[in-house]
Amino acid sequence: MELAEKLFGYNLEMFEQDQAQIVKEHQQSYEKLEVERATKLARRGKETQMQEPQTHGHDIPLSNTNEVSRKEDFPVLPEHAAEKPTSPPAWYETVRTNGHAWKTMMNSKDPTYRQGNILLSSLRNNIEFAEKEKASSGKLYKIFEDLRIQVHKAEFLKVNELILKKTHMLDKGLNYIFESRLDVPYPWDLKADAFQLYNRWSQKDFSVDLLRGIVAGAGKKDRRNADSIDPNWPHRVSAKYYGQGTLIIGQWWPTQLSTVRDGAHGSPQGGIFGEKDKGAYSIVLSSGNKYEDEDDGDELWYSGTDGKDYQPSENTLRMIETCDDIHNPVRVIRSYNLGKKSPYRPEGGFRYDGLYNVVKKQKMDAEKATYRFRLIRCKDQPPIRCENNASRRPTDIELDEYRKLKESGKILIAVG
Helix (H, G, I), strand (E, B) or coil at 202: helix
How buried is residue 131: exposed, middle or buried, by Cβ count under 10 Å (0-12/13-18/19+)? middle
Q: What is the pLDDT of residue 410?
A: 87
Q: What average pLDDT does this structure show over 333-361? A: 95
* Torsional class of 369: left (φ above 0), alpha (ψ -120 to 50), beta (otherwise): left
Confidence grade of residue 256 (pLDDT, cut at 50, 70, 90): very high
Please state which architecture CATH assigns to domain 214-408.
Roll (2.30)
The domain ranges of the chain are 2-25+90-202, 214-408
The amino acid occupying position 15 is: F
pLDDT band at residue 110 using 50, 70 and 90 as cut-offs: confident
Query: What is the structure's pLDDT at 99?
Result: 84
Specify the pLDDT at position 81.
55
User: How much is the average pLDDT of 260-286?
Assistant: 97
pLDDT at 160 over 90: yes
Q: Of 111-115, 174-178, 206-210, 389-393, where does mean pLDDT reach its minimum?
A: 111-115
Task: Report the percent of the chain where pLDDT is more than 70.
Answer: 76
Identify the pLDDT of residue 291: 67
pLDDT digits (tens, 9 = 90+) for 182-241: 999 999 999 999 999 999 999 999 999 999 999 988 755 555 568 999 999 999 999 999
**Percent of the chain whose pLDDT exceeds 90:** 65
pLDDT of residue 139 exceeding 60, the answer is: yes
Residue 310 has pLDDT above 60, yes or no: yes
Q: Which residues pair with 372 in a beta bridge?
A: 303, 362
Residue 60, classified by CB atoms within 10 Å of its CB into exposed (0-12), middle (13-18) or buried (19+), is middle
CB 357 within 8 A of CB 378: yes
Q: Quick one: how far is CA 67 from the chain centroid? A: 20
Q: Span 242-250, mean pLDDT?
A: 96
Instruction: Say yes or no to pLDDT of 80 above 70.
Output: no
At residue 17, the pLDDT reads 43
Q: How confident is the model at residue 287 (pLDDT cuts 50, 70, 90)?
A: confident
Categorize the per-residue pLDDT at 179 as very low, low, confident or very high, splitting at 50, 70 and 90.
very high
Contacts of 31 (CB under 8 A, 6+ apart): none
Looking at every residue in the chain, the average pLDDT score rounds to: 82
Ranking 6-20, 159-173, 348-362, 375-389 by mean pLDDT, the lowest is 6-20
Q: Is the dihedral of CA 413, 209, 266, 68 positive or negative?
A: negative
Question: What is the structure's pLDDT at 76?
Answer: 54
Treating both helix axes as pointing N-terminal to C-terminal, what angle do 188-202 and 137-154 enclose, rounded to 10 degrees? 30
- Residue 36 above 70 pLDDT? no
- pLDDT at position 70 is 41
Can you give the pLDDT at residue 95? 94
